[in-house]
């Protein structure tokens, strides 16, 4: 990593994110038509594909020796994350929101070295919100092209007490069958239920529809926790770096694993706090109980 110019790579990613944002906004919402991938809730548009083409062309012409993993060109079974410097890209995270013109979609540009999230750039063009981080250099939010604010937004975040004080991001995802769907339904109900009914009585649950923006929200401190199984490396790589640089932690969405892989597909993120991160993870894992998310990497 010593000979990589991370600032230069970051600056290119920011420039590419803005170009992607312009392409995405030009397509919203009048010329939009979508198709489906594995089922009716797994959407793709021509814009997803065109943005990925632009992103991969720009990144690979500047860094031809790096690897590239993108949602729309991923080949199951043969595209693998290795230790090589790798761009991990979702051209539009939150495609369903994009199709509905619901303003929570973004381009998510991650860069990993040795499988460690090293640079993250997430841009929501609808709100003109840019989240950025380089490993070891802090995380930032730039709104409306204006001032660059350091994350988390609260310079002294409050301690985390327990789940009953938390706003939680969680997603249904597009797989709606079998053990994973059953476990998500059970966990959502347990998180929401009152203490009298055996629940955690969290402040509330949010389904934002974009893992990248969920991680950005945990990095800012607007959400305390985010839990999802089923999303992919390109949904989380950029957000993971931003989260870590903002003082948050990422562990597995299944109990017991404190050091998950980027492409592990089961994630639990907790915001920055002077105390209580570990306890919140353990309380959340307790809500999952004996169940396990089963998604293949």
Q: According to the binding rule CB under 6 A, does residue 173 interact with ligand LIP? A: yes
* Helix axis angle, 211-220 to 233-245, nearest 10°: 10
* Residue 128 among known ligand-binding residues: no
Task: By CB under 6 A, name the one of 49, 142, 164, 174 that touches ligand LIP.
Answer: 174
Residue in 52, 90, 228, 245 annotated catalytic = 90
90 is catalytic: yes
42 is catalytic: no
* Residue 92 among known ligand-binding residues: yes
Q: Of 204, 126, 131, which Cα lies nearest the Cα of 170? A: 204
Q: According to the binding rule CB under 6 A, does residue 210 interact with ligand LIP? A: yes
92 is catalytic: yes
Phi, psi values for residue 76, rounded to 5°: -55, 135
Minimum CB separation of residue 49 from ligand LIP in Å reads 12
CB 267 within 8 A of CB 170: no
Before 287, cis peptide (omega within 30)? Answer: no
User: Of the ranges 12-20, 93-101, 244-252, 260-268, which one interacts with ligand LIP (CB under 6 A)?
Assistant: 93-101
Strands (DSSP E) found in 8-136: 34-36, 43-45, 67-70, 86-93, 106-113, 116-124, 129-134
Residue in 92, 122, 134, 168 annotated catalytic = 92
Task: By CB under 6 A, name the one of 130, 202, 215, 231 that touches ligand LIP.
Answer: 231
Minimum CB separation of residue 8 from ligand LIP in Å reads 27
Q: According to the binding rule CB under 6 A, does residue 228 interact with ligand LIP? A: yes
Say how many CA atoms lie within 13 Å of 110 toward its Cβ.
Answer: 34
Q: Of 288, 293, 289, 42, which Cα lies nearest the Cα of 188? A: 288
Q: Of 199, 178, 206, which Cα lies nearest the Cα of 292? A: 178
Return the number of the residue (224 or 235) whose C-beta is nearest ligand LIP: 235
User: Of the ranges 133-141, 168-176, 194-202, 263-271, which one interacts with ligand LIP (CB under 6 A)?
Assistant: 168-176
Task: By CB under 6 A, name the one of 52, 90, 224, 245 that touches ligand LIP.
Answer: 90
Phi, psi values for residue 196, rounded to 5°: -60, -30
Task: By CB under 6 A, name the one of 45, 86, 95, 254 that touches ligand LIP.
Answer: 95
Beta pairing partners, 88: 69, 110
State the burial class of residue 78 (Cβ atoms within 10 Å of its Cβ: 0-12, 13-18, 19+): exposed
Q: According to the binding rule CB under 6 A, does residue 263 interact with ligand LIP? A: no
* Residue 235 among known ligand-binding residues: yes
Binding site feature residues for Mg(2+): 71, 90, 92-93, 235
Interface residues with ligand LIP (CB under 6 A) are: 71, 90, 93-96, 171, 173-174, 209-211, 228, 231, 235
Active site residues: 71, 90, 92-93, 95, 235
């Amino acid at each position: 990593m010593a000979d990589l110019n991370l600032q230069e790579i970051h600056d290119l990613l920011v420039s590419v994110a803005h170009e992607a944002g312009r392409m995405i906004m030009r397509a919203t919402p009048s010329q939009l038509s979508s198709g489906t991938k594995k089922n009716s809730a797994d959407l793709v548009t021509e814009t997803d594909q065109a943005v990925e083409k632009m992103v991969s062309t720009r990144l690979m012409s500047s860094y031809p020796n790096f690897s590239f993993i993108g949602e729309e060109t991923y080949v199951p079974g043969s595209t693998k994350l290795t230790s090589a410097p790798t761009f991990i890209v979702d051209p539009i995270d939150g495609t369903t929101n994009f199709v509905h013109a619901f303003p929570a979609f973004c381009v998510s540009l991650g860069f990993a070295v040795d499988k460690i999230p090293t640079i993250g750039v997430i841009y929501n063009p609808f709100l003109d919100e840019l989240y950025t981080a380089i490993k070891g250099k802090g995380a930032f939010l730039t709104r409306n092209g204006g001032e660059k604010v350091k994350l988390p937004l609260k310079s002294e975040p409050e301690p985390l007490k327990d789940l009953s004080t938390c706003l939680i991001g969680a997603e249904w995802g597009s797989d709606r069958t079998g053990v994973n769907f059953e476990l998500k339904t059970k966990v959502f109900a347990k998180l929401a239920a009152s203490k009298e009914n055996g629940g955690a009585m969290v402040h509330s649950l949010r389904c934002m529809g974009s893992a990248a923006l969920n991680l950005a929200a945990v990095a800012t401190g607007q959400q305390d926790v985010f839990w999802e199984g089923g999303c992919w490396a390109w949904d989380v790589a950029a957000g993971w770096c931003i989260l870590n640089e903002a003082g948050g932690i990422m562990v597995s969405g299944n109990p017991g694993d404190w050091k998950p892989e980027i492409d592990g597909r089961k994630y639990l993120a907790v915001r920055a706090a002077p105390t209580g991160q570990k306890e919140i993870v353990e309380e959340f894992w307790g809500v999952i109980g004996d169940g396990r998310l089963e998604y293949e990497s």
